[in-house]
Chain A
Amino acid sequence: MVEDIIMRHGATEDKLMPILLDIQNSNERHYLKEEDLKTVSKILGIPESRVYSVVTFYSFFSLKPRGKYIIQICDNAPCIVNGAYNVIDDFRRALGIDMGQTTNDGMFTLEHSSCLGCCSHAPAARIGGELYGDLNTDRINSILSELRRQ
């Protein structure tokens, strides 16, 4: 419940980001509903426009429903020169969707990511809040099967 999340953090302006992160993580489609944002605005006493500003500024937040697992693929220089574009192609092929899209069964969303700090195990991706490095076609397929099984 949105109100519970707010009370747990404290209904002050500076807690906006932790509150939004928790609200987003509390629903399976990893997104923020407009009515929840209105509730946050009301309880915290900050204008809706400011809440919207924070939601649209940070890459983590989404106003649209996404998949159960968000696959964030790094496409910065250290990963690119270690095969990141192949990783992107592998995921696109395996899931049948393009970057920025969600599979029809609501399981996976593909997103670009800035550097994940996983450069020593490039190419890397962050999937469902866990970092996976040294990706190749086999690893990608086994990761996807494992996640589907859960």
Chain B
Amino acid sequence: MADLILQRLTKHCGNIDPYDIDDYTAAGGFKALTKALLLMKPQEIIDETKASKLVGRGGAAFPTGAKMQMVHDAPNNIKYVICNADEGEPGTFKDRYLMESDPYQIVESIIIAGYAVKAQKAYIYIRGEYDKAIALIKNAIERTRETGYLGKNILRQRFNFDIEVRTGAGAYICGEEFALIESLEGKSGRPRYKPPYPPIAGLWDCPTLINNVETLANLPYIVLNGGKEFRSVGTDSSSGTKLICLSGNIINKGVFEVPFGITLRDIIYSIGQGIPNDKELKMIQIGGASGSCIPPSMLDIKLDLADMRQHDLSPGSGAIIAFDNTRCVIDIVKSLLRFFAHESCGKCTPCREGNPQLYNIINDFSNGTATVDNYKALDSLTQTMQQAALCGLGQASPMPVVSTLRYFKEEYDMHLSGNCPAGICSLDGGQAK
């Protein structure tokens, strides 16, 4: 399994005291920042990031270098960096892992990003449930400021920069870039329509670089080793490593840093060590709650943007949830839709009204009250939501339905005729709660 697990981002995790800045420095910390500020110009850092072909690690996979270029080039004097640490995608806990194990790396990455796009201030928006990560990041920022790597004239360069911690308050939608920005501005987290996009008009309508924790965490490596070196691991379409999170019915749960290009089979059986309790794998969901749910027959697909796109899949946040054969597909989809209905911000019609209606229909399957007409309703509803919803939540929440209809249709048919193969659904016409 040696070549399946790498240690670019996770090199310090578990090996240093996350509170201690000296530990971090002794392990090589702040070397990247020093090199960036003293030996590189902002455009050079952006060029290396472009050369690395790094794409966003939060789920949207947008080319990071191109995003940084847009913010860098924007004419405003005031610019912001936002580190999106509102990790809320079910099955995802990699950012928590990074923040709790190596907070100084996150802080250093943000400063490098700020220098590259010529920003003066950064916010790191950490979800409110991550109390420990909040404490560690706050501590790391204070220590970093004391040491002089934050504040005015950092490393005696004409670069002033500071980071402020803000916390969420229990709204998954605030992981969406504009919902997060609205939240920072003191409002409810309702996404804005796009364009304009954050690099042009983001926080307080200023050019804003907003990136996931893991994305930014790649910057020190790129600065120290160059973009070309970064590409030495991974595939043509997906360079570098990805932090994946294994959970569900799998033996070896946790965060693993893997190169792009390994197969899902490697992930489930080599890294994950397979399914516990002598059960068999029934289904895996890749990318988070809005990811595709696929059968074991597709395990030879590689963790790779291009390969996955061919199968209408995406690595998403890196979450991989395994479900064994004691689980019911309908029941799982129902729980996912309940999550989306609860987290929908309510602004646009397709998502606000569509998610509860999707839930109702799937609940009918679970109750045994579904009819054949429901398939047509599911089709028109999922299509409408995917194409007409205002933001990624409403566009992606139908995916579990769409993918299970495609790969697990027989489970729907069986529930339709009053049979739950896993024996979980009550099928009693909604009598029980």
Name the residue of chain A whose CB is nearest to the CB of B246. A120
B129 contacts A17, C-beta separation under 8 Å: no
B186 contacts A81, C-beta separation under 8 Å: no
**What total of chain A residues lie within 8 Å of the partner, measured CB to CB?**
41
Q: How many A-B residue pairs have CB under 8 A?
A: 134
Residues of A with C-beta under 8 A to B171: 57-59
B residues contacting A by CB (< 8 A) are: 87-93, 95-96, 127-132, 166-172, 183-189, 245-249, 253-255, 285, 289, 319, 321, 323-324, 327, 332, 335-336, 339, 342-343, 345
Q: Mark A112-123, 1 if CB is under 8 A from B, else 0.
A: 111111111110
Name the residue of chain A whose CB is nearest to the CB of B324. A81
A residues contacting B by CB (< 8 A) are: 12-18, 20-21, 46, 50, 53-54, 57-61, 72, 75-78, 80-82, 112-122, 126, 129-131
B247 contacts A129, C-beta separation under 8 Å: no
Shortest beta-carbon contacts, A-B, top 6: A59-B170, A119-B247, A58-B169, A57-B188, A120-B253, A60-B169
B248 to chain A minimum Cβ distance, whole angstroms, is: 5
Name the residue of chain A whose CB is nearest to the CB of B254. A120
Name the residue of chain A whose CB is nearest to the CB of B332. A77
Residue of A57, A60, A82 touching B189 (CB-CB under 8 A): A57
A78 contacts B321, C-beta separation under 8 Å: yes
Residue of B89, B132, B324 touching A131 (CB-CB under 8 A): B132
Name the residue of chain B whose CB is nearest to the CB of A128. B131
A77 contacts B255, C-beta separation under 8 Å: no
B166 contacts A76, C-beta separation under 8 Å: no
Residues of B with C-beta under 8 A to A75: 335
B289 contacts A76, C-beta separation under 8 Å: yes
A77 contacts B185, C-beta separation under 8 Å: no
Complex CA gap A15/B245 in Å reads 33
Residues of B with C-beta under 8 A to A126: 129
B170 contacts A77, C-beta separation under 8 Å: no
Residue of B127, B129, B339 touching A76 (CB-CB under 8 A): B339
Residues of A with C-beta under 8 A to B93: 117-120
Residues of A with C-beta under 8 A to B166: 17-18
Known A-B contacts A14-B186, A75-B335, A77-B336; the reply to A117 vs B96 at CB < 8 A is yes
